Structures are given as structure tokens and as C-alpha cells.
Amino acid sequence: NAGVTQTPKFQVLKTGQSMTLQCAQDMNHNSMYWYRQDPGMGLRLIYYSASEGTTDKGEVPNGYNVSRLNKREFSLRLESAAPSQTSVYFCASSRWGGNYNPIYFGEGSWLTVV
Amino acid sequence: AQTVTQSQPEMSVQEAETVTLSCTYDTSESDYYLFWYKQPPSRQMILVIRQEAYKQQNATENRFSVNFQKAAKSFSLKISDSQLGDAAMYFCAYRSAGGNEKLTFGTGTRLTIIP
């Protein structure tokens, strides 16, 4: 039962490099999300996609882009990484049809920008 | 904008005892949902329990229960018969009932279980 799968799990980048975090879910969920978690803070929403073909900004979208490739996949791209983007990134998904539906999270991706 | 506050950065409890984690939130909405998530050292976010604001009955899931006080905008989590596996960060989260699907998190409470 895979659920939400993120890759890579760990990555070290140099300032200015680019990279893409991949996420896929096998629960047939419509909505997908990218969050970041920093020490002493809860998770903060970067971008979300309510359905295939749509994306919207969350609280902290600057420096990121996303692509909802299809219903299963939602990628997060850092075009020019900065040390402030050092964080743990979580992809998540949720069934559409009522916000009572829980959000299911992947295992997280540890990103360090040096 | 909604905010979620967890005023206890750290809590500890003896194994087999009961502990209550506090959460308050601020919103102008009347319909919404509240969640507690657990994050063990593995960092996986695990849903513990959820509550619908229009339901007066407090949610329960085995050893986990909530005390939902809508007028006070309070949503505390009670863990009974604490076990070593309950050691984790616990996050309270708020989600609107419609429209914006954003899940707003508190800053978390680190729970330590003392053997």
C-alpha cells in the first residue's frame, strides 16, 4: 500500500542549482499539496492542486514552481535554490468532495542548500 | 486568516498515565474541521483524530479523544494509557469546510513518554 511517494528522500544542493521533487499518489485523490516544515514551525503550504490541470499558491510560494502532470503526480521545482529553502518537504493528497477528508502525507524529502 | 496556537512546546507523561495537549484556534467561520496529526521521529505525518465543528459530540479513536469547545475555540487532545510509541510531535490543524482547502497547522507539541 504505497500511498504518497516522494523522491528523492535526501538531497544536498549548491546555491543557485535547480532540482525537482517528485510526488505520486496511488489513492485516486483529486487534491495534492506541497508543504515545507522548518524547525519550530508547523507545516506551511507552498502550493496545492485541487484537481488535475489546476494549481494555486499557498502561504510560501516564492522560489517554487509546481506541475500537476496528471491525476497521480505533482512535482515541485526549485529553479535557483537558496539556503532559505533548506527544509523538509512533504507532499500530500486528499480526496475531493468535502474538507472533512483527511490529508495523507508522504514520508518527506530532506533538502539542504549550501 | 485562520491561526492555530499550541502553547505547549513540550510535554511529558509517565507511561500508562493520561496527558492532554492544548490547541486553540482563531477563525470567523462557523463550519470547519479540526485535526490532530502525530509526527514520530521518522517524520511521517500520521492522522490521529478529526472533528467536525458542527458536531457537538467529541471524537474518540481508541486511546485518543478530544475536548472540543467551539465557543472557546479550543480543541485539546487527550491520550489515555500513554505508551512509549506515543512519543512524537503532535500538530493541531484547521481546515475550512469549503472553498480554500488549505490545512493550517500549529507549531506542535513534543510529547515525551517516561518509562
As a whole number of angstroms, the distance between CA B91 and CA A42 comes to 7
CB contact under 8 A, A42 and B101: no
With a cut of 90, say whether residue A6 has pLDDT above it.
yes
pLDDT value for B75: 97
List of residues 6+ apart from B42 with CB closer than 8 A: A107
List of residues 6+ apart from B9 with CB closer than 8 A: B107, B108, B109, B110
pLDDT value for B1: 75
CB contact under 8 A, A43 and B98: no
pLDDT value for A98: 60
Tell me how long chain B is.
115
Which residues of chain A have a CB within 8 Å of the CB of B4? 42
Which whole number is the average pLDDT over A97-107? 79
Which residues of chain B have a CB within 8 Å of the CB of A105? 44-45
| pLDDT tens for each residue of B51-109 | 999 888 999 999 999 999 999 999 999 999 999 999 999 999 998 887 656 789 999 99
| pLDDT tens for each residue of A48-86 | 998 888 999 999 999 999 999 899 999 999 999 999 999
| A106: closest chain B residue by CA | B44
pLDDT value for A42: 83
In order of B6, B24, B58, B69, the CA distances from B72 in angstroms are 14, 8, 14, 5
As a whole number of angstroms, the distance between CA B100 and CA A70 comes to 21
pLDDT value for B81: 97
CB contact under 8 A, B43 and A44: no
As a whole number of angstroms, the distance between CA A47 and CA A45 comes to 6
